[in-house]
Amino acid sequence: MVVLASVATIQAQDNTAPALMPMPAKVQMGAGKFLVNSDFKVALRGREDIRVKRAAERFQASLSRITGIPLPGSKDRVIEANFVINWAGDGEKVQKLGEDESYRLEVTPTHVHLDARNPLGVLRGVQTFLQLVQIGPEGFAAPALVIEDSPRFPWRGLLIDVARHFMPIDVIKRELDGMEAVKFNVLHWHLSDDQGFRVESRKFHRLQQMSSDGLFYTQDQIKDVVEYARDRGIRVVPEFDMPGHATSWFVAYPELASGHGPYEISRHFGPHDAAMDPTRDSTYKFLDDFIGEMSRLFPDQYFHIGGDEVTGKQWAGNPKIQAFMRTHELKSNRDLQAYFNERLQHIVQNHGKIMEGWDEILHADLPKEVVVESWRGQKALADAVRQGYRGMLAFGYYLDLMQPASQHYLIDPLGGAAASLPPEEKQRVLGGEACMWSEFITPVNIDERIWPRAAAVAERLWSAEELRDVNDMYRRLAKVSERLEWVGLQHVQSYRLMLERLRGGTDIQSLRVLADVLEPVKVYARPKTKHYETTTPLNRLVDAVRPESDAGRIFAGMVQRFLDKTATPEDLTAMRNQLTIWRDNDQQLAPVLQSSALLQEAVPLSQTLSSLAATGLQALDYWNAGGRVPAAWRQQQLDLLKHAQAPQAELLNMVAPSVEKLVAATLPE
């Protein structure tokens, strides 16, 4: 038995350490390399399993793609297999929560052995191997090592909201490919909301006919996605949000609602008042039929009923509902929703499923098998767990809030209020989900909004809690991002294409210099700046720029080292070069911005970048001359830099805070 090094050993290594993400539980580096060449051959040593067979085929195809070496797995070559996959048991017919995903990967200079208890471990292990393969002076190779790995949490999800903006099947499939690459294991598919109902129901066909604008998945497509996900070790948990967030249902079936119809598909965002009528038996009859149908369509054991953000206004405005509440001694809307949830839970359970819902479903009368998903925070999760429920964290992982990967990365499902839970209660924290709500995304920019940031969440949910080195995370994230392109994700390409669309041509160099230092405004600032509807074009600069500016982050690091007096000579040169490029950029860019209706709003952003870069260069000059600056200049620049940090066109300049630091650290004469 090989003694394995801890994660810390790996982290301490240099920049050429394997860029694995999520970082495995245990890695011990060996000596030498396994070369990938035309002799590469996989052998499967386990009971015949269609999922492993297909995984091996996809693995060979992926390896062939990232190396450019044909690996046809042809029968006519007589060489021995050098990549041997063993697995001990069959997987569950329907992938189960907590099903074994562990694997052991041993790479030697001549052979690779991948051992797993279960087909899922095979799926995870081949992804790790793919991340190990890099080109070097000898060719494509993986370093000799031994990895023993298993996930920390059994529920590692990505939520995709297809209600507010529909995403075609090919988008969903490529996200599943990305998920597989970083070992996510749940697609939480948010399929209905006020803005649309996205699944074909054969029982209630008006749902898709009247409530989807023609944008929905057929049952055949759903089945295809479920199988595609299963092949990749990913469970598909559907969410049908109720009793609120349900306007689209009422377009087709107004009798389900608590208020008067008719209803229209909503074009705007935020909580709506329309809610199901929890007092009528016909509502439950409908839901029983509907959930029965959907339970057969989605084989997963869990069924997400939403349950969030019921405003209660329709309930308050309906005398019959008010009377019902008095009769049943339901004192608040919360009580009424609990009544609804109890009945709903029975229906879900009768169809063989376990109910899952957002924080608001929590109510002491619900059976403990119900799973709570916390969007409100770590405290809400801890509270649910303390009450005996299982739960998971969505809070902190909202990709639509345009926060940096590091911020998501450092939030742990067992952090905050959950940190003080006793170990047996911690067991009930199942994991978490990165959430891609779709108010501001389209099929063109969704990849850029999800990737690569979601990979940081994937690592948080898979890897050791103590893994918190943000710099090393970013180093590895960059490599993962590169590989995700070979998986078929368009997060890099779409950024360029959207800039080209704005500019009306491929000569986007100066536009890109600006765009690279910008980020969209954070959290919920966008809808506060401008009125948005589902049909509002999302083709502006704010829709193109990345959620996180690498240029801004890298510059901030250099400035920090400069102020800490740990800057290298290369840092100093790079800072000055970078500031010079930024200062001079507006001269080229200004006419470009004027020539496009969509770029005119960026004129002040470009001017600001130039002027603050000039300030930064001046500040460096003053530093070189001793660090003393004229007091008036200093104050003037600080005012300018404060102004530069105000949102403009829903965009933030991510260099301004660093230049402000440079100036603020000078001493007035």
Beta bridge partners of 648: 651
| Subset of 187-216 contacting a second copy (CB under 8 A) | 213-215
- Told to judge if 309 belongs to the known catalytic residues of this protein, a careful annotator would answer yes
Scored b (16 or more CB within 10 A) or e, 21-56 reads bbbbbbbbbeeebbbbeeebbbebebeebebbeebb
Q: Indicate the residue among 431 and 520 with the shorter CB distance to a second copy.
A: 520
Give the C-alpha distances (Å, rounded to integers) separating 415 from 216, 293, 332: 38, 38, 32
Min dist CB 477 to a second copy, Å, is 12
DSSP state of 398: B
Active-site residue, from 80, 92, 227, 309: 309
Q: Indicate the residue among 478 and 667 with the shorter CB distance to a second copy.
A: 478
> From the DSSP assignment, how many helices (H) and strands (E) are in the chain?
26, 20
Query: Residue 501 is encoded by which pair of tokens?
Result: 């669309």
DSSP state of 175: H
Site string for a second copy, 502-531 (x = CB under 8 A): xxxxx-------------------------
C-alpha 518 chain-centroid distance: 20
Q: Indicate the residue among 73 and 416 with the shorter CB distance to a second copy.
A: 73
Q: Near a second copy by CB under 8 A, which window of 91-99, 234-242, 372-380, 477-485?
A: 477-485
**Candidate residues 485, 571, 584, 601; the one interacting with a second copy per rule CB under 8 A:** 485
- 242 near 305, Cβ under 8 Å? yes
Tell me if 32 contacts a second copy by CB under 8 A.
no
Tell me if 601 contacts a second copy by CB under 8 A.
no
Tell me if 411 contacts a second copy by CB under 8 A.
no
Q: Indicate the residue among 21 and 498 with the shorter CB distance to a second copy.
A: 498
Number of residues this chain uses to bind a second copy (CB under 8 A): 51
Query: Residue 649 is encoded by which pair of tokens?
Result: 């066109």
> In angstroms, rounded to a whole number, what is the distance separating the alpha carbons of residues 224 and 232?
13
Min dist CB 262 to a second copy, Å, is 12
**Candidate residues 11, 134, 311, 322; the one interacting with a second copy per rule CB under 8 A:** 134
The three-state DSSP-derived secondary structure of 438-477 is CCCCCCCCHHHHHCCHHHHHHHHHHCCCCCCCHHHHHHHH
Q: Near a second copy by CB under 8 A, which window of 72-80, 217-225, 381-389, 467-475?
A: 72-80
Tell me if 566 contacts a second copy by CB under 8 A.
no
Amino acid letter at 213? D
- 652 near 520, Cβ under 8 Å? yes
Site string for a second copy, 245-274 (x = CB under 8 A): -------------------x----------
Min dist CB 317 to a second copy, Å, is 26
Q: Near a second copy by CB under 8 A, which window of 123-131, 228-236, 533-541, 658-666?
A: 533-541
Min dist CB 19 to a second copy, Å, is 10
**Candidate residues 58, 111, 334, 501; the one interacting with a second copy per rule CB under 8 A:** 501
Based on the number of CB atoms within 10 Å of its own CB, is 255 exposed (0-12), middle (13-18) or buried (19 or more)? exposed
Amino acid letter at 318? N
Tell me if 588 contacts a second copy by CB under 8 A.
no
Tell me if 403 contacts a second copy by CB under 8 A.
no
Based on the number of CB atoms within 10 Å of its own CB, is 77 exposed (0-12), middle (13-18) or buried (19 or more)? exposed
Tell me if 79 contacts a second copy by CB under 8 A.
no
Tell me if 498 contacts a second copy by CB under 8 A.
yes
Q: Residues 6 or more apart from 295 whose CB is under 8 A from it?
A: 303, 348, 351, 352, 353
State the residues that interact with a second copy by CB under 8 A.
Answer: 38, 65-70, 72, 74, 76, 134-140, 213-215, 264, 442, 444, 478-479, 482, 485-486, 493, 497-498, 500-506, 534-539, 543, 594-598, 600
Catalytic residue numbers read 309
